[in-house]
């Protein structure tokens, strides 16, 4: 480890453990979680040799290319409310990215988008991904590790990701300082995690829906693990599932899945 740095935000505080190289920041933090690590502990690494994404995918994590950060939470919530933590993580990532793209912290063209459940997109290319992993004891959450990866520079993105991935350096000429970006993101995380801890779900849902073009009215195909569904999005249910009205007229809440295909949103069309 390189250094330890305390931090404090409104709803979360702890120590940041800065590393040069780790396998995966999520794995480092999961081990700490199991050995009694405190809520709010953060791990940030310059390089991950085994960075992981959702559904067993790799997360390429080369030096200087991005932020690789994980936060340890011990939320006092039932397992079925864990989706709130996922929504909060996406909100925080979008807000931090928008803030660094625009000096005034706004995103007037609505370029930064959340692809359900928590991929962050710019111009329909992925700029950030979130991997939430949990340890559970009988219907309660013992710990949750939220891993956030943000592409800061595009130089080291592999050619197979051309057209699918984008980095902050592709959209702003102002260099983004990783450490300042991480501190900003943690401040926002504390604010929104505080709302989740206080069960202020309506605020979380409204904000997520404001930030995601997937929230309502999009025709999608979604792989749920129990088959592919096709239908139109209708917002979020109280536990954070995506409501989809199927072509048959039935409405379903989907909690785990992958959006396979979307009909292009007018919001993301070139001007
Ligand atoms: C995804 O979109 O598939 C999720 C990507 C999550 C990547 C981050 S980088 C920090 C943390 N450590 C990991 O190994 N993965 C997450």
Structure tokens at 86: 């996922």
CA distance linking residue 37 with residue 56, whole number of Å: 25
Task: Report the pLDDT value the prediction gives residue 267, as an integer from 0 to 100.
Answer: 52
Task: Report the pLDDT value the prediction gives residue 271, as an integer from 0 to 100.
Answer: 38
Protein residue with least CA distance to atom 11, ligand 1: 147
Average of per-residue pLDDT values in the chain = 91
* Cα angle: 104, vertex 106, 111; to 5 degrees: 135
Q: Tell how far the Cα of 152 is from the centroid of ligand 1, in angstroms.
A: 14
Task: Report the pLDDT value the prediction gives residue 106, as an integer from 0 to 100.
Answer: 62
Best CA proximity match to 72, nearest among 189, 200, 195: 189
Q: Which residue has the higher pLDDT, 109 or 160?
A: 160
* Cα angle: 37, vertex 5, 95; to 5 degrees: 90
Mean pLDDT of all residues in 236-257: 93
Best CA proximity match to 130, nearest among 202, 215, 73: 73
pLDDT tens-place string over residues 174-194:
889 999 999 999 999 999 999
Chain centre to alpha carbon of residue 27: 17
Q: Tell how far the Cα of 26 is from the centroid of ligand 1, in angstroms.
A: 8
- Indicate whether 270 pLDDT > 70: no
Mean pLDDT of all residues in 19-36: 98
Cα atoms found within 13 Å of the Cα of residue 59, Cβ hemisphere only? 30
257 lines ligand 1 (CB under 6 A): no
Most confident of 63-67, 139-143, 154-158: 63-67
Q: Tell how far the Cα of 131 is from the centroid of ligand 1, in angstroms.
A: 5
Task: Report the pLDDT value the prediction gives residue 269, as an integer from 0 to 100.
Answer: 45
- Indicate whether 268 pLDDT > 60: no
- Indicate whether 109 pLDDT > 80: no
Mutate to test the pocket of ligand 1, among 47, 51, 92, 181 (most ligand atoms within 8 A of CB): 51
Going by the DSSP 8-state scheme, the letter that residue 133 receives in this structure is: E
pTM for the model: 0.92
Task: Report the pLDDT value the prediction gives residue 254, as an integer from 0 to 100.
Answer: 93
Q: Tell how far the Cα of 67 is from the centroid of ligand 1, in angstroms.
A: 10
Residues 6+ apart with CB under 8 A from 133: 26, 30, 144, 145, 147
Say whether 4 sits in a helix, a strand or coil.
strand
Of the ranges 50-64, 211-225, 254-268, which one carries the lowest mean pLDDT score?
Answer: 254-268
- Indicate whether 104 pLDDT > 70: no
pLDDT tens-place string over residues 83-101:
999 999 999 999 999 999 8
Q: Tell how far the Cα of 146 is from the centroid of ligand 1, in angstroms.
A: 9
Confidence of residue 129 (pLDDT cuts 50, 70, 90): very high
Say whether 92 sits in a helix, a strand or coil.
helix
Are 67 and 167 a contacting pair, CB within 8 Å?
A: no
Q: Tell how far the Cα of 58 is from the centroid of ligand 1, in angstroms.
A: 8
Task: Report the pLDDT value the prediction gives residue 77, as an integer from 0 to 100.
Answer: 87
Percent of the chain's residues with pLDDT above 90: 71
Q: Tell how far the Cα of 15 is from the centroid of ligand 1, in angstroms.
A: 20
58 lines ligand 1 (CB under 6 A): no
Mean pLDDT of all residues in 146-171: 86
73 lines ligand 1 (CB under 6 A): no
Task: Report the pLDDT value the prediction gives residue 44, as an integer from 0 to 100.
Answer: 98
Mean pLDDT of all residues in 8-17: 96
Task: Report the pLDDT value the prediction gives residue 105, as an integer from 0 to 100.
Answer: 59
Are 71 and 7 a contacting pair, CB within 8 Å?
A: no
State the closest ligand 1 atom to the C-alpha of 148, by its place in the atom list counted from 1.
8
Going by the DSSP 8-state scheme, the letter that residue 202 receives in this structure is: H
Task: Report the pLDDT value the prediction gives residue 264, as an integer from 0 to 100.
Answer: 63
Mean pLDDT of all residues in 100-110: 68
Say whether 95 sits in a helix, a strand or coil.
helix
Torsion from C-alpha of 228, 219, 98, 64, nearest 10 degrees: 30
State the closest ligand 1 atom to the C-alpha of 59, by its place in the atom list counted from 1.
7
């Amino acid at each position: 480890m390189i250094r330890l740095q305390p931090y404090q935000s409104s709803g979360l505080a702890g120590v940041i453990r800065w590393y040069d190289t780790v396998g995966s920041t999520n794995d480092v933090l999961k081990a700490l979680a199991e050995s009694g690590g405190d809520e709010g502990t953060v791990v940030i690494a310059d390089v991950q040799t085994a960075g992981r994404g959702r559904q067993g995918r790799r997360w390429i994590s080369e030096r200087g290319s991005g932020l690789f950060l994980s936060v340890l939470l011990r939320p006092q919530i039932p397992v079925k409310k864990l989706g709130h933590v996922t929504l909060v993580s996406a909100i925080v990532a979008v807000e931090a990215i928008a803030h660094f793209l625009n000096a005034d912290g706004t995103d007037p063209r609505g370029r930064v988008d959340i692809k359900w459940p928590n991929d962050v997109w710019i111009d329909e290319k992925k700029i950030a991904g979130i991997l939430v992993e949990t340890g559970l004891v009988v219907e309660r959450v013992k710990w949750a590790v939220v891993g956030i990866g943000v592409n800061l520079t595009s130089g080291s993105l592999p050619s197979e990701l051309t057209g699918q991935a984008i980095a902050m350096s592709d959209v702003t000429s102002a260099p983004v300082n990783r450490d300042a970006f991480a501190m900003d993101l943690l401040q926002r995380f504390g604010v929104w995690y505080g709302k989740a801890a206080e069960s202020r779900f309506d605020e979380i849902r409204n904000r997520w829906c404001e930030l995601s073009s997937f929230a309502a009215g999009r025709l999608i195909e979604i792989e749920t693990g129990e088959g592919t569904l096709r239908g139109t999005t209708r917002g979020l249910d109280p536990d954070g599932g995506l409501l989809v009205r199927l072509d048959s007229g039935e409405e379903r809440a989907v909690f785990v899945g992958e959006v396979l295909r979307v009909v292009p949103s007018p919001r993301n069309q070139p001007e």
